[in-house]
Structure 1
Amino acid sequence: MDYTHAETYLLSRPETDKSYPFGPDVAVFKVKNKMFALLATSGKNGNELGAEFAGYAFLNLKCDPDEAIMLRDIFPEVRPAYHMSKKHWNSVVLKDSMPEKEIERLIDRSYALVVKGLKKSERTQLELRYPPDLLYR
């Protein structure tokens, strides 16, 4: 999955907004004003995630703490989140070696975790507009 495909997939999630609060190179994706993803590209020296990932696009995605650790053990492309809570967020490097369907699953999981954490009125509003399989993939 490349940067453009990731961006398109993120924006396909219901009521997703994209903004650039950290500058023009870091896209933040929110549902009901709550962030569920950050999309950026690692610098040429790889200071963000390590030299082996220099120049690659990456996503920061919300994750269950136990699942976060497990994913880091399984996939070398999944790292503790850059500049975010290492307990609840992972950085996922968008390399060809990382399965596209797994990246989509992680995006869906991040989105669902944020929706589940919304105020009841906001969550109910979403649930009335969209089927559960679209919100909680």
Structure 2
Amino acid sequence: MDIEAYRLYCLSKKGVTESIPFPKLQDVLVFKVKGKMFTATNIDTFDSFSIKCVPETIEELRAQYSALQEPSYFSKKHWSSVVVDGTISDHILFEWLDISYNLVVSKLTKKQKLELELE
């Protein structure tokens, strides 16, 4: 996966916006759904990206995939950093982005979910 495939996939999802929201981190590109972040990456290197994960399965996945690591800046219980080193197929990477997106959508308010359905 390259950064453009990652970016286009994220933007293909309903209600997604992209931004560089951190003034001191001008190289961090963030994707949000209804204002809630579901993934982020360094646009200069694209050596990894962060995703939300299911807390009950996160440790098992990290044990199975060495490229799935504890994040530097996010909760280790809910987030993982995915090293883009070619050891995980794009198919699985896209599945993980789907899970991250769906976890965020599941926590939206009823109103936000309805707005999302109408987009």
CA distance in 1, matches of 2:4, 2:118: 30
CA distance in 2, matches of 1:69, 1:41: 27
Q: 1:94 aligns with which of 66, 71, 84?
A: 84
Unaligned runs of 5+ in 2: none
TM-score norm. by structure 1 comes to 0.79
Cross-structure match for 2:11: 11
Cross-structure match for 2:41: 39
TM-score norm. by structure 2 comes to 0.90
Task: Measure how far apart 1:80 and its partner are.
Answer: 1.0
CA distance in 2, matches of 1:37, 1:93: 13
Aligned AA (1:11): L
Q: CA RMSD in A?
A: 1.6
The alignment covers a number of residue pairs equal to 117
C-alpha contact 2:29 2:43 (8 A) present in aligned 1: no
User: Secondary structure of 2:30's partner?
Assistant: strand
Q: 1:27 aligns with which of 21, 29, 36?
A: 29
C-alpha contact 2:19 2:30 (8 A) present in aligned 1: yes
Aligned AA (2:93): I
User: Secondary structure of 2:104's partner?
Assistant: helix
C-alpha contact 1:81 1:89 (8 A) present in aligned 2: yes
User: Secondary structure of 2:57's partner?
Assistant: helix
CA distance in 2, matches of 1:95, 1:41: 16
Cross-structure match for 1:49: none
CA distance in 1, matches of 2:9, 2:91: 11
Larger radius of gyration: 1
C-alpha contact 1:58 1:93 (8 A) present in aligned 2: yes
CA distance in 1, matches of 2:42, 2:32: 15
Cross-structure match for 2:69: 79
Unaligned runs of 5+ in 1: 43-54, 130-137
